[in-house]
Amino acid sequence: MALLTHSVAHLLSERLAAYQQSGLLRQLRNADGLVDFCSNDYLGFARSPELKAAIQQADVAQTRARTGATGSRLLAGQTTLANVVEEELARFYGTESALIFNSGYDANLGLLACLPKAGDTLLTDELIHASMIDGARLSYATRYRFRHNDLTDVENKLKQARESQKNGQVFVAVESLYSMDGDVAPLRDLADLCDRYDAALLVDEAHATGLYGPNGEGLVVAMGLQDRVLARVHTFGKALGVHGAAVVGPGILRDYLINFARPFIYTTALPPTACWQFAALTCT
Ligand SMILES: Cc1ncc(COP(=O)(O)O)c(C=O)c1O
């Protein structure tokens, strides 16, 4: 039995009680047999017999593949399949390269923690997802939060960043379609501001993936802005109905993430089955 001293038990129950009193207590509830009015399976893909059949077919074709990746892709976990799928993802999302992460959370954490360094500045919308917030917290860059979708506030913070850190790189991180309010970022205006202040735009496309663009490539492609955004995060656990994520952008960004993104380096890669899922989604 795990050691739980009286004082630790008291501490935990006090914190949980305070959470409950504020109406914030989280509990796991079984969703089996319920009608789905709340998940991120926007297109019903997670329940699609066609997608399931395509994944099973790919599964059967790969008889010699391992069940698990067996390690980080920098050790034994690298497969040709992952590279092929990443090339396909890059083509699909209209950019040079893609790098698969185990989840959208990992992708945002890795990207925001390693790209802006000490001496750089990271500007984030106040409504970005927890994974971006956590990544930003791990970065040594100077951080500013701007009011949600407020271009005047973005510009003020960009000016502030340029005045206080003349030599550092400035990054601006937003979602394209916000999970909190369901509204859309003014991406074109943000890209214009980034151009004006020599900043790099990072866009989390978690909720736009599969829903916007001619083939579901997301809002950046829908607006023709793919050459004005440094990195996009596409997650596969929402409208695409499976799991995992990719950061897409220039080839050098992929090389950088392979070297510095800790949630990519220090974790067991997704199993080959997950890659077949992406293959079934993107290569068909
Ligand atoms: C905006 C946004 N980004 C990233 C994530 C994380 O994606 P994943 O569920 O693949 O970890 C979520 C998930 O809720 C999200 O809403």
Of residues 59 and 26, more confidently modeled: 26
In Å, how far from its chain's centre is CA 149?
19
Rounded to whole angstroms, the Cα distance separating 222 from 226 reads 9
- What's the confidence (pLDDT) of residue 64? 74
Rounded to whole angstroms, the Cα distance separating 200 from 231 reads 9
Tell me the whole-structure pTM to 2 decimals: 0.95
Q: Where are the domains of the chain?
A: 49-281
Q: What is the mean pLDDT of residues 151-172?
A: 94
* 3-state SS assignment for residue 189: helix
Mutating to test ligand 1, I would choose from 131, 267, 270 the residue with most ligand atoms within 8 A of its C-beta, which is: 131
Largest CA distance in the chain: 60
Domain covering 49-281, topology: Aspartate Aminotransferase; domain 2 (3.40.640)
Residue 164: active-site member: no
Token digits for 111? 């990207």
Per-residue pLDDT tens over the stretch 261-279: 999 999 999 988 888 777 6
Helix 272-282 vs helix 80-92: crossing angle, to nearest 10: 30
- Atom 7 (ligand 1) nearest CA: 104
- What's the confidence (pLDDT) of residue 8? 93
Q: Which atom of ligand 1 is nearest to the CA of 245?
A: 10
Q: What is the mean pLDDT of residues 119-124?
A: 97
Contact 246, 107 (CB under 8 A): yes
Residue 238: active-site member: yes
- What's the confidence (pLDDT) of residue 283? 54
The mean pLDDT of the chain is 93
- What's the confidence (pLDDT) of residue 28? 94
Per-residue pLDDT tens over the stretch 35-88: 988 999 999 999 999 988 888 887 777 767 788 999 999 999 998 889 999 999
Residue 179: active-site member: yes
Predicted confidence band of residue 1 (pLDDT cuts 50, 70, 90):
low
Ligand 1 within 6 A of CB of 235: yes
Q: What is the mean pLDDT of residues 9-28?
A: 96
Ligand 1 within 6 A of CB of 176: no
- Sheet with 231-235: strands ordered across: 97-101, 245-249, 231-235, 199-204, 170-175, 121-125, 142-146
Residue 284 has pLDDT above 60, yes or no: no
Per-residue pLDDT tens over the stretch 160-169: 999 987 789 9
